[in-house]
Amino acid sequence: MNKSNVTFNFLFFLLCINGLLMGQQSFEITHLEGNAKVQRSQKRSWEELTLGKELYDNDIVETFFQTRLILSFGDNNILILGSNSKLLLNIVEKEENGQTVHDVSVTLFAGGVFAKAVSKCFISIYTANAVATTGDGAISAIVEEKTGETGFQVLGGNVKTRNIAQQDALNLVSGQTTMIFPGKEPTAPLYITYRHVTVLKHFFGNEYIENELASAGIQPTSDHTSTNRKSFTDGFMAGKPGVGRVEGGFQKRTFTLNRIYESILADQNENEKEYSPITKPGQIFDNRATIEFTTSFARANGSFFPAFILKPSYSLPFLNIGLRFSVAANYEQLGVHQFSEPSGFLDLIDYAETGFPIADRKGFLKFSLGGIKDYTLGKGIVVNNYTNINPYSLFHPMGLTGKFILEEIETNIFVADFM
């Protein structure tokens, strides 16, 4: 192969990579107050978010105390994440009536999200028990993490809401709200009250919510005009420790979060240790191939027996694999243990992970083979922080975990010892 062919092939490779990157849909961070982080698709580590960064399909985003994150996509469509919120982002392009439309799905695990469809987009918001869809509206969703109770508030346009296990949808128009409880149909639509507005401002900011209410011509109603039905703010605020009812029907906390955090920080400064614990270092470079080397010592009968472990790993778009080579000493010599069964050879595999979208990117399938650490199912009711790794043993059981997601269906499996 001559030099000109090499140059041509390299340029063709760069054009292909550039085409893939340009074709990948993304969300742009246009505003960030506070701290937020993202776990990229196919990665296990988290990275801090900064203004100007982009988020992509299957990214998981988490915000923290007093944080507000604004994302834009397409033609002026936006998403706003409130404080202490966590969600999964999905975005694809599709052809509809001869034009390109952004199809965005947001899975809200905790906290609050506000979505506004301005042009050429279709937005769906999923929670554990509810789903809301719109192509021309502005909607906020607040979810109670422990119970899954979900409140939807429409600040413009038309929105369809339903329980995730049911087919019939409830139509909401601008200025209406509903609550969805586990196994129940959406409550009858109510008008947005001042208590709703108070909660929305807490998550998404005073100025922005005021502007949205003004542009939509929404006038909040008095809390006393609502029926006795359990409302959105009742589920979110009432009955919680430290919350009391005051004159006018508003909910007011009997303590301030700032004073609580101030006390926590003061206690940490007073009682903090004078040394920093040794932690596992993070990955310095974002390379596909890595090599990890660890060593440990065991003491028995007054003698020390060393062990050395080498862990090379490599990442592909569809597969991540890591190997583990152990060399240990006993009372006779330092060497590699001999294997006589297939399980012994499989112990050389530290981990193997694969995952890929299915059903036109509406679902996802993932499998992980290797040691299991801190595995939880059903919020700890089924399995709580299960670990099959013994830190004092050179040999690890070969565990298997799997996850299948298709629209509203999610299935998780695990096997403690595959062999």
| Percent of residues, the chain, with pLDDT higher than 70 | 75
Residue with tokens 């629209």: 407
DSSP at 223: G
pLDDT band at 397 (very low <50, low <70, confident <90, very high): confident
The beta strands (E) that lie in 324-398 are given as 325-329, 334-335, 349-358, 363-370, 375-377, 383-386
Q: Tell me the DSSP string of 264-332.
A: HHHHHHHH--SSPPP-PPPPSS--SEEEEEEEEEEEETTEEEEEEEEEEEEE-SSEEEEE-EEEEE-SS
Summarised one tens digit per residue, pLDDT across range 239-262 is 444 444 443 444 444 556 666 767
The token pair that represents 231 in the structure block = 């409302």
Summarised one tens digit per residue, pLDDT across range 287-296 is 788 888 888 7
Q: Which of 122-136, 197-211, 272-286 has the lowest mean pLDDT?
A: 272-286
Task: Please give the average per-residue pLDDT across 79-104, as a whole number.
Answer: 87
Q: What are phi and psi of 176, to 5 degrees?
A: -110, 160
pLDDT band at 21 (very low <50, low <70, confident <90, very high): very low
Q: How far is CA 7 from the centre of its chain?
A: 42
Task: Please give the average per-residue pLDDT across 344-370, as a whole number.
Answer: 84
User: What is the C-alpha separation between 315 and 322, in angstroms, rounded?
Assistant: 9
**pTM of model > 0.85:** no
